[in-house]
Structure 1
Amino acid sequence: MPHFKPLTISFYLQALLLIMISIPATIHCRTFLPNSGKLIETTCKNTPNYNVCFQSLKASPGGSGADVTGLAQIMVRVMKAKANDALNVIHELQKVKIGLGTEQRRALSSCADKYRAILIGDIPQATEALQKGDPKFAEDGANDAANEATYCESEFSGKSLLTKQNNVMHDVAAVTGAIVRMLL
């Protein structure tokens, strides 16, 4: 039996060596993923607003592991969140009883319709089109949302009450459209 001890020790050492070699590879394999941040950077550089794109995708769960279609889907979800935010601001402004003139109330009502159109029409269109692999319709939905935000801004004669929300919505939708266009 003493004859087997060196052989057993040899097997244990080889197994230990293999484990030690494979642990660093497992720990660092994440850096070898195709989208460990590089795809986000590359994609965002090809959009009209790098900062909006990069910040939105980096802040979203799953962004660093997504392909271009996944990045587009994330941006559609960001569009939805921004449209809901804008609609909430509109509803709060509509509750104000003093300080809003007839023109501003009319503009707010029109903008509410535009943001509902984004939420009911454009977002579902873009989502479904990406799921079905039809990026042209997804791009149309994103572009329509950007246009709705621009139209909302133009509803106000003079100082808009929604400039911040409209600009954010427009920028997010334009970035989404640019990412979707990469799928064509």
Structure 2
Amino acid sequence: MADQKFVENTCKGTPSPNLCLKILLANPKSQNSDLTDLALIGVAAVEDKGVEIIRQIVALKSSKPKLRPTLNYCEEAYHAVVYADVPSSNEALRGGLAKFAEDGMANSAVESQACERSFCEHGWMSPMTDSNKAMNDVANVVRAIIRMLL
């Protein structure tokens, strides 16, 4: 069972301890969780961030129609995060298969990077840099938590 100290010590082993604390402590369940439960809380944060970014993409399609092909690509990437990577990570964690959960979070980070790169490939400034970086950061924090289970 977790307590504040356990959460803090867990977060020290991630690339961004402050972000980790923000993610885990935002969920009251973190106070009574083991490491697997903390990882599941993190995966839920990746899902929430993905849904938020998909909403942003939908809004950008209306306000920046010339970016629509690239935004469509990004939307597909984030759909993969929310509807493939997150569910596979959840299932893997619940089944005690942390390696597969780690793969899902690694894929989530890659999808955010691919979205960002797609703007550069078309010679456009990305209107999503902050969001893509945020997803990359969250996914890598959660990946680090999951690696502690290996």
Q: Which category describes the TM-score, using the shorter chain as reference length?
A: over 0.9
The one-letter code of the counterpart of 1:60 is: N
Unpaired stretches in structure 1, ≥5 consecutive residues: 1-33
Amino acid at match of 1:143: A
Post-superposition CA distance 1:14-63 (Å, at most 9, x none) = xxxxxxxxxxxxxxxxxxxx522111111111001111101010111201
**Identical aligned residues as a percent:** 39
Which residue in the other structure is 1:140 paired with?
103
Q: Which amino acid aligns with 2:125?
A: K
Separation (CA, whole Å) in 2 of partners of 1:56 and 1:109: 28
Identify the structure with bigger relative contact order (alpha carbons < 8 Å, sequence gap 6+).
Answer: 2
In structure 2, list runs of 5 or more residues that go unmatched: none
- CA RMSD in angstroms, aligned pairs only: 1.1
TM-score (norm 2): 0.94
- How many pairs are equivalent? 147
1:117-132 matches, cutoff 5 A = 117-132=80-95
Q: Which amino acid aligns with 1:152?
A: C
Match of 2:113 among 138, 150, 155: 150
Letter in 2 for 1:47: T
Secondary structure, in 3 states, of the residue corresponding to 2:138?
helix
Q: Give the whole-Å Cα distance in 2 for the aligned partners of 1:183 and 1:135.
A: 6
Deviation track 1:103-149 (CA, whole Å, cap 9, x = no partner) reads x2221110000000111110000000001010000000000001100
2:70 matches 1:115: no
Give structure 1 regions of 4+ aligned residues with deviation exceeding 4 angstroms: none
Q: Give the match for residue 49 of structure 1.
A: 16
Superposition map of 1:157-176 within 5 A = 157=120, 158-176=124-142
